[in-house]
Structure 1
Amino acid sequence: MKPQKRPLDGVLLLDKATGLSSNSALQQARRLYRAEKAGHTGVLDPLATGLLPVCFGQATKFAQYLLDANKAYIATLRLGQSTDTGDAEGSIIATSNTEISQTDFQVACRQHLGAQQQLPPMYSALKHQGKPLYQYARQGIDIQRQPRSIHIHDIQILRFQFPETQISVQCSKGTYIRTLAEDIAKSAHTLAHLTALRRTATAGFQIEHSHSIESLTAFTEEQRDALLLPCDTLVQHLPQHTASEQTIRALRFGQTPVAPPELPENTPLRIYSANREFIGLVTSRQGYLKALRLMSTQAN
């Protein structure tokens, strides 16, 4: 008999294991928690490990606001070789005998800081006509892609022992570290592919506070539940406002009450009751409050 699912609201900071797709990791966590509803906040490649925030129940309403957050990674690169996938799962398609120094590599890293355009790799989950690009890539079909705007905030060399190097990267959403590694190597007149990738932070969440499926399995259900973060942790980067009971009631009935004049316009706002209950997200438009996502009245 299948375990009975239960309504559950909150955010789990999961440390995804290598070899698992993000969806497989999500389903493992969902089964372990017996959650009725679950979703994650951004895909990690199967090769990658690290921080994957999992949303249960009403937290899924706010997951989209985490997709836009900055992220941090530790990437291990093999210099002098490129693969068809950009990582160690692919086949080697080119080699370079050029040996570079740490200084050469550092100079190349600096050239890739700041705002830039990045061409998404064919081996990615981006879709074309309803199919992921990697499905076309496996058939040998190259699809024309449009470059995307990204921002690399910081790159640090953690270890350099040619042909292997390890770097930390702080970047905007939509950044493909595999592509960044290839681009840095090209600037250093060599080749590269990823041999390991670990996401260490996203939207202020840190890997040190995450939990693996193995460690969660050893806990009791009560202990696991105690690890869940409240739903509003997903939107802590947004401004907040304390609303009156009258305003909250109006929003829940689908009305658009008058917005206080000091609130910024056209910006998502966290709203709370006087006793600090998280109500949801609203925005102020032309002097009125409009609900974006509200918690149901059954949840806290």
Structure 2
Amino acid sequence: MNAPRTRVQRRPVHGVLLLDKPLGFSSNDALQKAKWLLRAEKAGHTGTLDPLATGVLPLCFGAATKFSQLQLDAPKTYEAIARLGVTTTTGDAEGEVLRECAVTADMLTPERLAQVQQQFTGAIRQVPPMYSALKKDGKALYEYARAGVEVERAARDIQIYQLNVAPALTGQAQPAIKIIVTCSKGTYIRTLGEDIGAALGCGAHLTFLRRIDTGGLGIDRCVTLADLEAMDEAQRLACLQPPEALLADHLHVTLGAEDAARFLSGVRRRGAWPDAKAVAVFGQSPRALLGVAHVAAGELIPDRLLSPLEIQQILQSQPGASAAGILETP
């Protein structure tokens, strides 16, 4: 008989783990593995990466899950390799070949690449791929695609903030281009690769995709699942960024003890703050994130608050810290 599996004792964990998602893992697979390694009670990710993609996947634990939407909406930067002259059913190397086309030298001149680069920079419209999780009548598009059904999709407005297209040195006989793109939420890089290939006149599909930044959180700050597995528990917890790592572009406001306690109760505070749509609010002594807010006409208006218990747990995880002064309502 097999020995019974040991039940993992979950615990409150608060923070952001910047994960370098491995090839072949779905975003949820990676999340569940990290959640298990940290024995965390509550966790969520900040937008999916395809199993064939690697790179930056911020994972939110505990209180940080309250701010995960901010990363969903953040600009993202990708590196991709698109093989030219071959289109596939999925827009990547997993699909079946649809069409093959010769790639000629005039398609890859610096002038032609610069022209295509300009064509796909700025505000553009993009038709979502059939192999995507977008839903039609309650059913994911990829389910229709697998059944051989083509569904009409409306083009969507997206923003390409920066784009670089250059010949890729892959060591393969088939020509390829390297794409580095910073784009808005809702951009499909597989579709961008296909559209660039079509504009060059030969078609293309992605053979490599890596996210290197999301909302200012770069790949150089990431840890791999293999790294995490090799660590002890204390080292794993030390990899967590505080929840405010998701709020770097927010205006920071610090409140004294009385104002902090009232703010945590959902009460607006008045002060000489400029109008701002995104504010990260901290208590002063000890310094602790209280939540996010916005400022209008000198009023600090709570939007999303941490609970007193969450603040206490975060502070207790910091050596020598105490929640006194923040959690005591005057």
Deviation of residue 98 (structure 1)? 3.4
Aligned residue in 1 for 2:294: 283
Deviation of residue 221 (structure 1)? 0.8
Q: Could you tell me the TM-score, scaled by structure 1's length? A: 0.93
1:109 aligns with 2:121: no
Paired letter, 2:74: A
Q: Is the 8 A contact 1:32 1:217 kept in 2?
A: yes
Match of 2:186 among 169, 174, 193: 174
Deviation of residue 286 (structure 1)? 6.1
CA deviation digits over 1:6-37, x for unaligned, max 9? 11001001111111111111111111111101
Partners of 1:262 and 1:288 in 2: CA distance:
8
Q: Is the 8 A contact 2:281 2:290 kept in 1?
A: yes
Alignment of 1:184-223 (within 5 A): 184-223=196-235
Deviation of residue 146 (structure 1)? 2.4
Residues 38 and 102 (structure 1), Cα distance of their counterparts in 2 relative to 1, 3 Å cut: farther
Task: Indicate the larger mover: 87-96 or 274-283.
Answer: 274-283
1:34 aligns with 2:39: yes
Q: Is the 8 A contact 1:108 1:185 kept in 2?
A: no
* SS of equivalent residue, structure 2 residue 302: strand
Q: Could you tell me the TM-score, scaled by structure 2's length? A: 0.85
Partners of 1:133 and 1:260 in 2: CA distance:
49
Match of 1:124 among 119, 126, 132: 132
Larger of the two Rg values belongs to structure: 2
Alignment of 1:126-141 (within 5 A): 126-141=134-149
Partners of 1:91 and 1:13 in 2: CA distance:
34
Match of 2:7 among 2, 7, 16: 2
Partners of 1:223 and 1:159 in 2: CA distance:
41
Deviation of residue 158 (structure 1)? 5.3
Match of 2:25 among 14, 20, 23: 20
Deviation of residue 143 (structure 1)? 2.4
Match of 1:164 among 170, 176, 181: 176
Partners of 2:126 and 2:99 in 1: CA distance:
21
Q: Is the 8 A contact 1:153 1:171 kept in 2?
A: yes
CA deviation digits over 1:79-98, x for unaligned, max 9? 00111111111111111123
Q: Is the 8 A contact 2:21 2:56 kept in 1?
A: yes
Partners of 1:130 and 1:287 in 2: CA distance:
44
* SS of equivalent residue, structure 1 residue 248: helix
Alignment of 1:80-91 (within 5 A): 80-91=85-96
Question: What is the RMSD of the two structures over their aligned residues, measured on CA atoms?
Answer: 1.7
Q: How many residues align?
A: 298
Partners of 1:139 and 1:39 in 2: CA distance:
30
Deviation of residue 176 (structure 1)? 0.7
Identify unmatched segments of 5+ residues in structure 1.
Answer: none
Q: Is the 8 A contact 1:105 1:185 kept in 2?
A: no
Task: Indicate the larger mover: 209-218 or 288-297.
Answer: 288-297
Q: Is the 8 A contact 2:269 2:301 kept in 1?
A: no
Partners of 1:77 and 1:21 in 2: CA distance:
21
Q: Is the 8 A contact 1:9 1:59 kept in 2?
A: yes
1:268 aligns with 2:278: yes
Paired letter, 1:113: T
Partners of 1:209 and 1:76 in 2: CA distance:
23
Partners of 2:46 and 2:233 in 1: CA distance:
23
* SS of equivalent residue, structure 2 residue 168: strand
Deviation of residue 212 (structure 1)? 1.1
